[in-house]
Amino acid sequence: MGMDKPKLGTVRIAPSVLAMIANLTTLETPGVAKMGVGSNLHPAGGGLRTLSRGQQGASDGVRLVVLDGAVHVDVAVVALPGHSLRHLGKAVQQAVADALRLMVGMPVAEVNVFIEDVAD
């Protein structure tokens, strides 16, 4: 006779919360001065422009879509001077993907980083 745990219900996380996680994680990445304006982000353009279906969320400099259980993220940043922009972009991608996987347990399909400017 096994002791099955009763089902407690479901946990749902709003896409806007996922976007805030991406925002805060990006700001903590060394080399990021601030979030970008996001003019290149969905729906005007960017990596997510073709993903019109799915649950969408946004935060300053972040747009995301949850589609088929996976998160697709666009992030716009302003870099600090003296940092390799290529390395910065890769660091933001990895940090955002790791944070979303660890904090909410969702697979991350893509993290697109748009470096809009370098701070003065």
Spans of all domains in the chain: 15-118
* Mean pLDDT per 10-residue segment, the chain (120 residues): 79 90 97 87 48 66 91 95 97 98 95 94
Name the token pair of 8.
Answer: 């407690």
Residues 25, 104 contacting (CB under 8 angstroms): no
Q: How far apart are CA 108 and CA 92, in angstroms?
A: 13
Amino acid 5: pLDDT: 81
pTM of the entire structure?
0.83
Which one-letter amino acid corresponds to residue 17? V
Q: 15-118, which class in CATH?
A: alpha beta
Q: Which helix (H) or strand (E) holds 35?
A: strand 32-35
Amino acid 76: pLDDT: 94
Amino acid 28: pLDDT: 97
